[in-house]
Amino acid sequence: MDKIQNLIKQIFENDLDDDARNSIQTRMAQWIHASAFADFSSHPLSETFEPASQSAAASLIRKIEHLKSQNLTASAAQKRIESAAASAARGVFYTPELVRFLYDPYAAPDDPLIVRGVDIHCQLIRRAVRNVATRYADSIQRAMLDRESVEEELWSAAMEEIVRCLSDLSARAWRAESSEPVCFPPEGARGWKKALAARVALNPSGDRIAILQSDRMLSIWNIPDGELLRKQSLAEFGDSTGFEHWSAPYFSLDGERIAVQTAAACVIVVDLNGKESIDSFTSDRRDDFRRGFGQPYLPDEARLKTLPHQVMNRKEESLSWPDYLKQVYHAACDGDQRLAASASEIERFMPGWMCDIGFENAVYYILRRRLIDRIRKEIHVESAAAPGVDGSQPQTDEAETAPRTWGVYSFNKTIDDMSAGESVTHSSRQTDDWREEHDLERILAVLRNVSITYKKQRIPCDRLARLKAEGGTNAEIGEALGVPRGTVDYLWNQCRNQIQLIFGDEI
């Protein structure tokens, strides 16, 4: 412990050149590796984690350099240095290399190194839950929530949310002439509970993709414009056990119906022409199914291995289609081999945003957002009544994914921007207070020269922001901007990123 503490002090007390800094980082990495893996020297992968020790050392140095900028008192600095030294060895379990290993879907749960890493992650989550609940204690109380129950709910949901962030939750459509896919659901889609895309299918004309998620949500998308045509929960057709034995969805030859066979040999049929039309057929109704469904469209799956597609995976590695097939849960192609579809990629790893802020900060961020959503839900139940006095939503296809009430929060301070003692009031009052405090026109004026690009089309941020603030639905905004409504949420997220870059903590 003294060795790592002395190295930390050298970083804290001196302005080092690159050579000295690199030398200290190397010695830190050696100490971290020896300490973290002392009990796992015989583990077959222990030596492969040396890059993780280097990553942990680099992260520790960045933390210490950040401490230097805080003008701490001598006693406060000493406490922070001691704390950093005490947790230095644990830091290796927060690196991208170890996170990928710990959350590998095929990892052996009784592997002693995984048991150790999971224990460290659980300790981190427990600390984060307590800290987040303490920070928002007043907001929890004002929302009339029981703090102990909230903490338990956060703890229960934390690991699921972390795995969700590490996992690939998209299906993809690939054309032979492009290595860039079209992703479904589109990035930034709101009102959509994402889960693993476990099975995929293409219709005969190659303009629609059907996705069966691991939560047994079936969705059908229009490939050219990314439009959601239908989503249907199949959760009522059997429990979650045995889902791996469900068949992939398949279209009828005319493309108007989709069928899925469950583990219990029950065939579920969804008719795309009837919004509520869904039926199930057991083996004694086999003839009824064949008459109603017609001829199935079942392209030869053996042809998947011969596709000419060259694709780019999530890690931006260029792969041939046969190599890429080993990395996904399922795939399908159309009859002429011009279009292919793939389910979620299997590997879990830290996405770019998580690598940028670090795993520890990402856990705090995930829990904070989860708590904010929980508080907002309670507050909305009590107070959100727009657009009607009775709180009813507009009866349109957009009601579920983008209710008009969302617009009043477009630029308002969210709960995570508030101090612990602030509460949220009625939606209309929130908007009025914000306009007085922050001046919407000032923001829009700055954004007039800021734009985002969608398929070589320039989208002005000020116009998108105004449309959102006015409470337009995705369909209305898409029509006004000349883009598919399914891409509006993605564009809005890009716009908000630009706003945050410009205004920082001002909004």
Final residue belonging to a domain, choices 383, 406, 437: 383
Number of domains in the chain: 4
Residue 259 and residue 184 share a domain: yes
Final residue belonging to a domain, choices 342, 372, 404: 342
In this predicted model, which residue has the larger pLDDT, 109 or 30? 30
Query: Does residue 186 contact residue 484 with C-beta atoms inside 8 Å?
Result: no
Residue 252 forms beta bridges with which residues?
Answer: 296
Residue 336 and residue 235 share a domain: yes
CB count within 10 Å of CB 112 equals: 12
Q: How many CA atoms lie within 13 A of 441 on its CB side?
A: 1
pLDDT score of 308: 78
**What is the mean pLDDT of the segment spanning 141-147?**
87
Residue 295 and residue 158 share a domain: no
200 CB-near residues (< 8 Å, 6+ apart) = 171, 209, 210, 211, 212, 248, 249, 330, 331, 332, 341, 342, 343
Residue 319 and residue 181 share a domain: yes
In this predicted model, which residue has the larger pLDDT, 359 or 300? 359
Query: Does residue 146 contact residue 133 with C-beta atoms inside 8 Å?
Result: no
Residue 156 and residue 280 share a domain: no
CA distance 465 to 444: 8
Closest residue by Cα to residue 10 from 48, 74, 91, 64: 64
Residue 406 and residue 355 share a domain: no
pLDDT score of 95: 95
**What angle do helix axes 112-135 and 147-166 make, rounded to 10 degrees?**
130
How would residue 274 be classed by pLDDT, with cut points 50, 70 and 90?
Answer: low
| Residue 255: C-alpha distances to residues 178, 208, 293, 296, 483 (Å) | 25, 9, 10, 9, 25
Final residue belonging to a domain, choices 51, 67, 94: 94
**Picking from 60-74, 108-122, 150-164, 265-279, which range would have the lowest pLDDT averaged per residue?**
265-279
Residue 186 and residue 154 share a domain: no
pLDDT score of 380: 56
Residue 497 and residue 403 share a domain: yes
419 CB-near residues (< 8 Å, 6+ apart) = none
**What is the mean pLDDT of the segment spanning 36-56?**
86
CATH number where 189 lies? 2.40.10.480
3-state SS of 75-133? HHHHHHHHHHHHCCCHHHHHCHHHHHHHCCCCCCCCCHHHHHHHHHHHHHHHHHHHHHH
Residue 280 and residue 201 share a domain: yes
**Picking from 75-89, 104-118, 136-150, 372-386, which range would have the lowest pLDDT averaged per residue?**
372-386
**Picking from 187-201, 322-336, 385-399, 446-460, which range would have the lowest pLDDT averaged per residue?**
385-399
In this predicted model, which residue has the larger pLDDT, 407 or 500? 500
**What is the mean pLDDT of the segment spanning 319-333?**
91
CA distance 157 to 370: 9
Residue 48 and residue 127 share a domain: no
pLDDT in tens, 375-421: 887 775 444 333 333 333 333 333 333 332 222 222 222 323 333 33
132 CB-near residues (< 8 Å, 6+ apart) = 154, 364, 367, 368, 371
Residue for token digits 């009590």? 382
Instruction: With H, G, I as helix, E, B as strand and everything else as coil, classify residue 28.
Output: helix
Residue 278 forms beta bridges with which residues?
Answer: 270
% of the chain at pLDDT higher than 70: 81
| Residue 83: C-alpha distances to residues 8, 16, 179 (Å) | 11, 22, 47
pLDDT score of 449: 66
Residue 174 has what DSSP assignment?
A: E
Residue 372 and residue 357 share a domain: yes
Residue 142 and residue 48 share a domain: no
pLDDT score of 72: 81
Domain extent, residue 372, equals 103-167+351-383
pLDDT score of 293: 87
Instruction: With H, G, I as helix, E, B as strand and everything else as coil, classify residue 208.
Output: strand
